[in-house]
Amino acid sequence: MPNGNTSEWVSLEQKRAATAWNFVSPLENQARLRKGYYSLIRRFPSMVQSMGIGQALAFVMSRAHEEEAHRALRDHLTAWLMDADSPVPWTCAAPYSQPESSLMERLLAENDPEVWWFAEEEAIAFSLWLKRFTEAITPPEERQEA
């Protein structure tokens, strides 16, 4: 039984939601970024399902240098999947050469296919929260254009 500390009562789903909201809520006042992020995050969960986490992440990374929405999503996924609250059971501590490639380096250093499966499932679960919150802050007229 928890000892009264409310953080012990918070579920993984609540942590995902809170983290996603913290990432997405600042986009409400950034129309151009919000529009690009909305378009990208709507497709991302199905990209992971169809291509796998490696290829979906590589796609996002390939566009992150030119497109702010891709950079934001890459950073959001990296922050969550490598966070201590993430359920991904990382087995290695790969050395990271660049912050923007640290998640991919960590994935590629993993020899256990189960870690990839956990990372894929967690990327989908987390991106669904990002998607819902982005939908919530995106005006209807922008949603129809995307």
At 133, list the tokens.
Answer: 């919150």
- Under the banding of pLDDT at 50, 70 and 90, the label for residue 86 is confident
Residue 99 predicted with pLDDT over 80: no
Instruction: List, for residues 61-78, the tens digit of each pLDDT value.
Output: 999 999 999 999 999 999
3-state secondary structure 62-74: HHHCCCHHHHHHH
Alpha-carbon span 97 to 33, nearest angstrom:
27
pTM over 0.85: yes
The two most distant CA atoms of the chain are separated, in Å, by: 49
Instruction: Tell whether 109 is covered by a domain.
Output: yes
pLDDT, position 121: 97
Better pLDDT: 10 or 98? 10
Instruction: Tell whether 4 is covered by a domain.
Output: no
CATH number at residue 49: 1.10.520.30
Instruction: Tell whether 37 is covered by a domain.
Output: yes
Can you tell me whether residue 7 is helix, strand or coil?
helix
